[in-house]
Amino acid sequence: MIIAGNWKMYVGPDPAALAARLVGLEGVDAIVCPPFTGLAACVEAGLTTYAQNVHWAPEGPFTGEISAPMLLDLGVAGSLVGHSERRQHFGETNDGVARRAYAALESGLAVIACVGETQDERDAGDMESVLSLQVGPIRDACGAHERLVLAYEPVWAIGTGRTATPELAQRAHAFVKTLLDRPVLYGGSVKPENAAELLAQPDVDGALVGGASLEIEPFAAICTAAAPA
C-alpha cells in the first residue's frame, strides 16, 4: 500500500514530528509531497519525499519550473505529475503530463501520474473515454515502468468533501488497469473515516491524500488503515 500526502500550497505539518509519528509503521509506503520550499526539510527528516510537479527538460529558460536533476540533487525520490489542479489552473495537457512523467522516470525519479474525470464528464457517461485519453499518452511514453504509479482522482471529489463510493472507485481503478497495468491510488477527500473501506477494494493500491495530510494524526490514521492486519 502507498499513502501519499499532497500538501498543495500549504506549509503542512512539521516534518520531524511526522517522521517520528510514522516510525514503526510496516507494510505501507508513506510519501509526502510538500511545496518546493519544504522539500529539503522533509528529506532531512527522513521522509520519502516527492515534488508536486517536475519539468521535462533537465534545465533551461522555464521560469517557475523545476527539473528532475535538481530534485535528485536535493534527495527527492519522485514527483506528482498531472494533478487535476495543474490541468485546471495551469493548462497542463495530456501530452505534457506524459512528457513530464517520461523525463522524470528517465532521470531516476519515481512518478505518481494523476488522472480523473470532472462531474460533467461523469454525468455524461464519459468517465472511461476521459480516462483513456489521459492514460493513453502516459502508457505510450512510459510503458509499465516499475517506478510509475497512477492516481485516480475524480475531480468532483477533490477538496469538496465528496468521495467516490468504494464501488465506484473499484470500477474506475479496474478500468485504468486495463489501460496500463500499474498500481493505482485513489485520491479525492480521503479521510480516516473512509480510508479503510476504500483501501479494501481489490484494485485500490493506496491513496493520494489532500487535506487530511496537513495534520499529523489524520495522515497517520490513514497510513495505519493501510497497514496489513
Active site residues: 83, 153
Which residue's C-alpha cell is 464519459?
Answer: 126
Under 8 Å between Cβ of 162 and 210:
no
3-class secondary-structure state, position 220: helix
Locate 21 and state its grid cell: 509519528
Which residue's C-alpha cell is 493505482?
Answer: 184
Nearest to 213 by CA among 225, 200, 222, 204: 222
Nearest to 8 by CA among 42, 45, 51: 51
